[in-house]
Amino acid sequence: MSEPMVRFDNVTKRYGALTVLDNLNLEIERNEKVSIIGPSGSGKTTVLRMLMTLERINDGVIWVDGEPLTHEQKNGAMVPAGDRQLRRVRGKIGMVFQHFNLFPHMTALQNCMEAPVSVLGLSKAEAEQRAAELLDMVGLGEKKSHYPIQLSGGQKQRVAIARALAMRPKVMLFDEVTSALDPELVGEVLNVIRKLGAEHDLTMLMVTHQMGFAKEFSDRICFFYDGKIAEQGPPEKLFNNPDNERTRQFLSAVLEAG
Partner 1 sequence: MNIWDWYYVREALPFLYKGAIITVEATLIGFAIALVLGLVFALIRQSDNRVVSHAMAETVEFIRSTPLLLQIFFVYFVGPQFGIVIPAWIAGIGVLGIHYAAYCSEVYRAGIQAVDGGQWEASIALNLSRARTWRVIILPQAIPPVVPGLGNYFIGMFKDTPILAAIAILEMLQQAKNFGAENYRYIEAITLAGIFYLFFSLVASAIVQTVSLWLNRRYHLE
CB of 108 to partner 1, least distance (A): 12
Q: Which stretch binds partner 1 (CB under 8 A): 16-24, 47-55, 58-66, 186-194?
A: 47-55
Burial class (CB in 10 A: 0-12, 13-18, 19+), 147: middle
CB of 76 to partner 1, least distance (A): 28
Any bridge partners for residue 224, and if so which? 229
Picking from 22, 58, 29, the residue whose alpha carbon sits closest to that of residue 43 is: 22
Q: Is 121 in the site for partner 1 (CB under 8 A)?
A: no
In the region spanning residues 135 to 174, those forming contacts with partner 1, defined by CB under 8 A, are 147, 149, 163-164, 167
Look up residue 234 and give its DSSP letter: -
Q: Is 90 in the site for partner 1 (CB under 8 A)?
A: yes
The number of helix segments (H) and strand segments (E) in the chain equals: 9, 12
**CA gap 166, 179 in Å, rounded:** 23
Q: Pick from 29, 31, 39, 99: which binds partner 1 (CB under 8 A)?
A: 99
CB of 33 to partner 1, least distance (A): 19
CB closer to partner 1, 76 vs 121:
121
**CA gap 36, 23 in Å, rounded:** 17
Main-chain dihedrals φ then ψ at residue 122, nearest 5 degrees:
-65, 150
Main-chain dihedrals φ then ψ at residue 184, nearest 5 degrees:
-75, -10
In the region spanning residues 169 to 228, those forming contacts with partner 1, defined by CB under 8 A, are none
Q: Is 122 in the site for partner 1 (CB under 8 A)?
A: no
- Considering CB under 8 A, how many residues would be counted as binding partner 1? 26
Under the rule (CB under 8 A), what is the footprint of partner 1? Answer: 52-54, 87, 90-91, 93-95, 97, 99-105, 114-115, 118-119, 147, 149, 163-164, 167
